[in-house]
């Protein structure tokens, strides 16, 4: 399976979730947030094509890493490939974060309606930072998110309890 990336994996991020993390920069985003820091990731035709098995192999060689983070771009637009990576990463004992411009509640309803691949992906995601970047709500003091509307969500607890469970910024 192939995935379109904006750049090679970043292997030692400390700002895209807790601990040392590998970041997967998916290419293509439909949200077009004003003030987006990564406008080069918007086009669905740009970037580089990568093999999912190669990405998984790269991650398996990381020894000090706490987890991986899907960023972009919009990872949900390549949910099947991200799902395969996330599933294998969870088997390696690492945690998974995902940044999306979609709203968590909308993702859940679309899983049932038109995007079953989103439901498959979120089974393997521990934490989701949701919502578009809103320039008027930008706050540089926020950890792991850019604007105050965005939420750091414990995905699995939220699914079990049937309501949004936020995690502390840590
Ligand atoms: S969702 Fe993220 S990548 Fe997409 S336009 Fe908004 S800030 Fe940029």
User: Relative to the CA of 31, which ligand 1 atom is closest?
Assistant: 5
Residue 170's pLDDT band, with cuts at 50, 70 and 90, is very low
Give the tens place of pLDDT for each residue, 50-82. Answer: 999 999 999 999 989 999 999 999 999 999 999
- pLDDT for residue 168: 72
Mutation pick for ligand 1 pocket among 6, 27, 73 (CB with most ligand atoms within 8 Å) = 73
Cβ of 132 less than 6 Å from ligand 1: yes
Q: How far apart are CA 10 and CA 24, in angstroms?
A: 7
pLDDT at 114 over 80: yes
| Continuous H helices in 28-142 | 52-60, 79-91, 104-113, 116-122
Q: How far apart are CA 26 and CA 1, in angstroms?
A: 14
Where do the structural domains in the chain lie, given as residue ranges?
2-161
Q: Comparing C-alpha atoms, which of 82, 63, 65, 70 is closest to residue 130?
A: 70
Give the tens place of pLDDT for each residue, 79-102. Answer: 999 999 999 999 999 999 999 999
- pLDDT for residue 169: 53
Give the CA diameter of the chain. Answer: 41
Give the tens place of pLDDT for each residue, 146-160. Answer: 999 999 999 999 999
Give the tens place of pLDDT for each residue, 3-12. Answer: 999 999 999 9
Q: Which CATH superfamily groups domain 2-161?
A: Aldolase class I (3.20.20.70)
């Amino acid at each position: 399976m192939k995935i379109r990336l904006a750049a090679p994996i970043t292997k030692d991020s400390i700002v895209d979730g807790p601990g040392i993390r590998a970041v997967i920069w998916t290419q293509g985003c439909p949200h077009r947030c004003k003030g987006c820091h990564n406008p080069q990731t918007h086009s669905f035709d740009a970037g580089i094509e990568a093999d999912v098995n190669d990405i998984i192999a790269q991650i398996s060689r990381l020894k000090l890493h706490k987890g991986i983070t899907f960023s972009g771009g919009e990872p949900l637009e390549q949910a099947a490939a991200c799902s395969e990576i996330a599933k294998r990463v969870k088997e390696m004992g690492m945690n998974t974060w995902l940044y999306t411009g979609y709203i968590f509640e909308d993702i859940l309803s679309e899983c049932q309606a038109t995007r079953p691949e989103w439901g498959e992906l979120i089974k393997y995601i521990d934490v989701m930072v949701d919502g578009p970047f809103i320039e008027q709500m930008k706050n540089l003091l926020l950890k792991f998110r850019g604007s105050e509307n965005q939420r750091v969500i414990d995905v699995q607890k939220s699914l079990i309890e049937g309501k949004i469970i936020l995690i502390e910024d840590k």
